[in-house]
Amino acid sequence: MKETKKILILLSLFCFADLSSQDVIIKDFIVEKGDTILISEIPTVDVLSFKDQKERRRYYILKRKVLKVYPYAIYTKEKLEEIEKELDSISRKRKKKKHTKKVSKFLKEELGEELKKLTRTEGNILVKLIYRETKISTYKLLKQYRGSVNAFFWQTMAKIYDNNLKQEYDPVNNREDMLIEHIIIGAKLEGDL
């Protein structure tokens, strides 16, 4: 009997010691009609439903493509911010134009081969993601930095390949854009991006 009391006392000391080392978290609560209600933020959970297995497969193909081209959209956003800062420091219009041509040549050499390897749908997704990140269509970016003729030429080329540089990203009204947004948010939460 004395042995069991000693064991129980030792166990309770270990439990007490373990509890005392833990941090105590105090949450907000309210008492309403004798019930205690805990006030806490609950993360939202998005539920995707698919009509059939074919749509589910298309989603995973879209996910693979979005994760492939999203870094290019981020790179574009960062490069645009860098270019804007550089152009702000240049006072003459002629020097600004010369600088944008130099940057354009550099980007063509750096990313040209990689971007040529994109499929049509990946290119289409990239155009949408650039709009998502910069809030400016790819056509307007080309027009702003390379001129109207250049933008018109690339828009015509894009149309030949079933793309549109003027398209915008609209996750509210476009199901594919909604799925893209879901993929990006999920990838950021999972640490894939």
* Angstrom distance (rounded) from CA 12 to CA 23: 19
For residue 157, tell me if it sits in a domain: yes
Domains: count for the chain: 1
Instruction: Please indicate, yes or no, if residue 8 is contained in any of the structural domains.
Output: no
Q: What is the pLDDT along the chain (193 residues), one digit of tens a residue?
A: 566 666 656 556 555 555 555 565 666 778 888 887 878 777 766 677 888 899 999 999 999 999 999 999 999 899 888 888 888 888 887 887 888 888 878 777 888 888 889 899 999 999 999 999 999 898 998 888 888 998 899 899 999 988 999 999 999 999 899 999 999 998 888 877 7
Q: Look up the domain containing 110 and give its range.
A: 58-190
Q: Is 82 inside a domain boundary?
A: yes
- 36 in a domain, yes or no? no
pLDDT at position 10, please?
55
In SS3 terms, the chain reads as: CHHHHHHHHHHHHHHHHHHHHCCCCCCEEEEECCEEEEECCCCCCCCCCCCCHHHHHHHHHHHHHHHHHHHHHHHHHHHHHHHHHHHHHCCCHHHHHHHHHHHHHHHHHHHHHHHHCCCHHHHHHHHHHHHHHHCCCHHHHHHHHHCHHHHHHHHHHHHHCCCCCCCCCCCCCCHHHHHHHHHHHHHHHHCCC
Alpha-carbon distance of 141 to 104, in angstroms, equals: 12
Give pLDDT, residue 23: 61
Residue 24 lies in a domain: no
| pLDDT (0 to 100) of residue 13 | 54
- The pLDDT assigned to 8 comes to 58
Q: How far apart are CA 174 and CA 179, in angstroms?
A: 9
pLDDT for 122: 93
